[in-house]
Amino acid sequence: MSRIVFFAHYDRQAEVKRYVVHYLERLREVSDEMVFLSTSPLPRQQIDKVSGLVARTILRENVGYDFGMWQHAIQAVAWSGHDELVLTNSSVVGPIYPLAPIFSRMATVACDFWGMTESAEIAPHLQSYFLVFRKPVLESPPFRAFWNSVLPYRDKNQLIRSYELGLSVFLRDQGFTSAALVPSSAAPKRWLPRLLPVAHPNPTLCWPMTTLKLGMPFVKLELLRDNPRGIDLRPIHQAIEKAGYDLFLIEFDRASPTKRQR
């Protein structure tokens, strides 16, 4: 089994933060090749943090978000000799749990592509912070056609609708099957549609403790930094520490001077 990883990175301060280096180190343990892509203007000392872990580093214009970076790699990097392609990014903290057992577990699931979590927003789809595509998908013309069609959207909501949601829907329409380590059906009862307090629950933001208990090895950086749903983060921090992950690795973007003065 040969596996290649395309890692999409963005940092407002043009840094490769500690949690990113840790994630790359753990990814290296389960991959044969990694390509690091960033839309931040990283100086040499930041690039040096990852140079020993990845086969190639690509810096590009900050357009198109993660899908623009992945499109660039899919079109520019020789990956057809690999059995699996992993697309992931710097929006998550972890892995809290080892990745190798998760890959082994998902290897027993009959599917053509899979992800860590499934969202029910608009239509069931795999969340794009971690996606794995197997040989049948990688060798298919529709997969190439999808990536050739990706446009450099600057509106994040448009990108999510067209590409995060659209990729799962498109591949399923082409006859490919998908799976998730944590499917949307695993949502706690209070998040069922008839009781839904928000229009479309994001499992990584709305019920992260459930995803962790089900073996999902990541926590969204947005949850720890912004906590948009206002959930109690204390159990999350405790679960992260109990799993052996060093909270010291987690770094957030520094506030701008203007914000610090307020």
Residue 257 has pLDDT above 70, yes or no: no
Residue 254 banded pLDDT, cuts 50, 70, 90: low
pLDDT of residue 255: 55
Model confidence, pTM = 0.91
pLDDT of residue 261: 31
Give yes or no for a contact between 122 and 158, defined as CB atoms under 8 angstroms apart: no
pLDDT of residue 165: 76
Considering the segment(s) 3-184 as one domain, its CATH architecture is Alpha-Beta Complex (3.90)
Mean pLDDT of 98-102: 97
Spell out where the chain has E strands. 3-9, 33-38, 56-59, 84-89, 92-93, 113-119, 125-126, 130-134, 178-182, 219-220
- Determine the Cα–Cα distance for residues 246 and 94; give it in Å rounded to an integer: 10
Residue 62 banded pLDDT, cuts 50, 70, 90: confident
pLDDT of residue 197: 47
List phi, psi (to 5°) of 255.
Answer: -65, 150
Residue 194 banded pLDDT, cuts 50, 70, 90: very low
Does 54 or 228 have the greater pLDDT score? 54
Which amino acid makes up residue 132? Answer: V
